[in-house]
Amino acid sequence: MKIGIIGSGNIGGTLGKHWAQAGHEVLFSSRHPEELGDIVREAGDKAKAVSVAEAFEANADAYLLATPFKAINETAEVFAGEYGNKVIIDATNPYPETDGEIAQDVRDDNRNASEYTALKFSTAFTAKAFNTIHAKDLKERAFDDSNPMAVPFAAQDAKSREVTDKLIRDIGFIPIYVGDLGSTKAMEVDEKVYGVSTDQQELRSMLNIS
Ligand SMILES: NC(=O)c1ccc[n+]([C@@H]2O[C@H](COP(=O)([O-])OP(=O)(O)OC[C@H]3O[C@@H](n4cnc5c(N)ncnc54)[C@H](OP(=O)(O)O)[C@@H]3O)[C@@H](O)[C@H]2O)c1
């Protein structure tokens, strides 16, 4: 698959390198793509650094959103309608302390944060994944065949579900589907499985999923 990384920091940089290791073509982006040389070198031949607009123009199969939450509106404007029908995997979390008013509004709203993203990227197929995992676990627990860690995810439709399931599995985690974007409450900041590092049996039990 061709994967666009929007925000190549702790989460985006690490995931992009894992996906490159799994054989995917990865486009790392940020507002400063010229600063992504080290990540691209570590990711290998199939990776390159581009601007956010170039990442969307490249017509990737899936995009990972891994910027601060406050960048969602701006990123969605770059995405606009013209790059529709893409799978967007949203790993962001709203933190009022650093993201400001928009994060507080989303937290106070009846909608889940994932639904906010889906609303902004209205022409895409949105999934929520990797927002619950600590950066350290993401880095150190990938490709761990002996004790694989479970990663919960939600998806808006069949296509985003299939792609996200595969991209979690490809880097050695066990995907646990929690439902559509209306079902992500347990994955939100400080909720039941937020920051939880465990195997599939325990995660299923915490989420009451058989
Ligand atoms: N750290 C964790 O343990 C963790 C775990 C799960 C989920 N998350 C969530 O994942 C997201 C990213 O967290 P992180 O720890 O990876 O943050 P980070 O290390 O600060 O990386 C954020 C990246 O986003 C880029 N960026 C910032 N504003 C942007 C914009 N307007 N447009 C495009 N790119 C932009 C930054 O690069 P430039 O400044 O060069 O643009 C940077 O590469 C957050 O929403 C966070 O809540 C974090």
The SS3 of residue 153 is strand
- pLDDT confidence bin for 102, thresholds 50/70/90: very high
Q: In the chain, how many domains are there?
A: 1
The per-residue pLDDT for 80 is: 82
Assessment of whether the complete model's pTM goes beyond 0.95: yes
Which residue has 């996906």 as its token pair?
A: 19
Containing structural domain, residue 180: 2-207
Going from the C-alpha of 75 to that of each of 7, 39, 97, 151, 204, the distances in angstroms are 10, 21, 20, 25, 33
Mean pLDDT in the chain?
Answer: 96
What element of type H or E holds 117?
helix 113-120
What is the C-alpha to C-alpha distance for residues 54 and 75, in angstroms, rounded to an integer? 12
Query: What pLDDT does 85 receive?
Result: 84
CB 163 within 8 Å of CB 62: yes
Mutate to test the pocket of ligand 1, among 6, 14, 28, 31 (most ligand atoms within 8 A of CB): 31
Percent of the chain exceeding pLDDT 90 equals 95
In angstroms, the CA 133 to CA 177 distance is 15
Q: Please check whether residue 129 is in contact with residue 168, taking contact to mean a CB–CB distance below 8 angstroms.
A: yes
Whether 82 has a pLDDT exceeding 90, the answer reads: no
Cα 86 to middle of ligand 1, angstroms? 21
Instruction: Evaluate: CB of 96 within 6 angstroms of ligand 1.
Output: no
**Domain containing residue 9: CATH number:** 3.40.50.720
Q: Can you tell me the distance from the alpha carbon of 135 to that of 30, in angstroms, rounded to the nearest whole number?
A: 18
Taking only the tens place, the pLDDT of each residue in 149-195 is 999 999 999 999 999 999 999 999 999 999 999 999 999 999 999 99
Spatial distance between the Cα atoms of 210 and 204, rounded to a whole number of angstroms: 6
Write the Ramachandran bin of 146: left for phi over 0, alpha for psi from -120 to 50, otherwise beta: alpha
125-150 pLDDT, tens per residue? Answer: 999 999 999 999 999 999 999 999 99
When computed from its CA atoms, the radius of gyration of the chain, rounded to whole angstroms, is 16
Backbone angles phi, psi at 90, to 5 degrees: -95, 115
Under 8 Å CB-to-CB from 70, ≥6 apart: which residues? 98, 99, 100, 102, 103
Ligand 1 centroid distance, CA of 6 (Å): 9
Mean pLDDT of 101-110: 92
136 lines ligand 1 (CB under 6 A): no
The number of CA neighbours under 13 Å toward the Cβ of 102 is 16
H or E, element range at 27 = strand 25-29
How far is it, in rounded angstroms, from Cα 114 to Cα 111? 8
Query: From CA 100, how far away is CA 69, in angstroms rounded?
Result: 9
pLDDT of 101 over the 80 cut:
yes
Mutate to test the pocket of ligand 1, among 11, 38, 97, 130 (most ligand atoms within 8 A of CB): 11
